[in-house]
Amino acid sequence: MHNSNGEGRAAAAVIEVEGLTKSYRVFDKPEGLAASVKSLFHRPSRTVEALKGVSLTVGRGEFVALLGPNGAGKTTFLKLLSGIITPTRGTARVLGHVPWERADDFRRRFALVMGQKNQLWWDLPAAESFRLHREIYRIEPGRFERTRDELVDLLGVRKLVLQPVRDLSLGERMKLELVAALLHEPEVLFLDEPTIGLDVVAQHALHQFLAHIQVERRMTIVLTTHYMKDVAALCRRAIVITDGSILYDGSLDQIVDRFTTHKIVTLDLDDTPDQADFARLGFPCEIRGPQVTLRIDRQRIADVLPEILRGRQVRDVSVEDVPLEEIVAELFRSGAAGAARVPEEARA
């Protein structure tokens, strides 16, 4: 399923991908001594497709979430767009460049931040890594200092830049990783699970910073994440990838409308109700003390809600969409059932 999702996106395209495919040859390790000896002369192998003909377009200034279960191809996709690896088939252009040609002009215009890999020197203060970035990207000293000061103040990390990176918390390191990635003022930013392992406070701080900097610089950002709070806070468009293929490409609102048929009605009653009383209504029902949760067909809400409320002592009632986490998790399960997974060593 593919939806370009946005008028005029192609005219202002920053990322253009057509039929992008990445295959890996994976060697299987047989069990047993005899099989191991035999494998010295002939190693059984198979081909795994991490991406299968992915096509999409991302316009300037978009903040796009790339969602999918582990092994779906998200990180492979970002590595292709940033030129770290080359595809098996297909084409891609980012800012008018073929990423894997690694042109100097292209490398100065994008940044990649991977939540599980550090670009800062572990034993040195971040300030030293920042100076190294200034030399690598040939940033004019005055511009470098202005940009650095703006970023560290926005993230509230001025007191941390002189401490060795190894002494910082995970959240503090991620903030400094973002500073380093943005020093050369890239036009495109690829974020691979930047909030993984962070607590709620650190996640919220990164959300605020990314939302501000994206609007301020009109930056194009592609984000992979497992946290739906990241998506809800930052992105209007979501692309769901399972088994190396795009399952959905559109707005978050459209995900809710397209993949759910019911709403969740929650009642807070004065007393714990009788299970049989609500079972007679014919809707899936969960009772926890005086709170009752019902799943009701969207089309029937207006008709059945008065009947549900009639004759019951209700203190509060809410009608909500199915949580985004639940919808996306179901998409993962339905799209990835029986799918082959790319081994970690092949994706590295």
pLDDT tens for each residue of 29-67: 767 776 666 666 667 778 888 999 999 999 999 999 999
CB atoms within 10 A of CB 89: 12
Nearest to residue 64, comparing CAs of 216, 210, 194, 234? 234
* Residue 47 CB-half CA count within 13 A: 7
Strands across the sheet containing 45-59: 45-59, 13-27, 89-94
**What is the Cα–Cα distance from 173 to 324, expressed in whole angstroms?**
29
For residues 339 and 53, the model is more confident at 53
What kind and span of H or E run contains 142?
Answer: helix 141-155
| Residue owning tokens 């459209």 | 254
**What is the Cα–Cα distance from 285 to 308, expressed in whole angstroms?**
12
pLDDT tens for each residue of 216-241: 999 999 999 888 889 989 999 999 99
**What is the Cα–Cα distance from 310 to 29, expressed in whole angstroms?**
65
For the chain, what is the mean pLDDT? 86
CA R_g for the chain = 24
Domains present along the chain, CATH in parentheses = 10-109+186-257+327-347 (3.40.50.300), 262-321 (3.30.70)
Residues in the chain: 348
For position 41, what pLDDT does the model report? 67
315, 309 Cβ separation under 8 angstroms: no
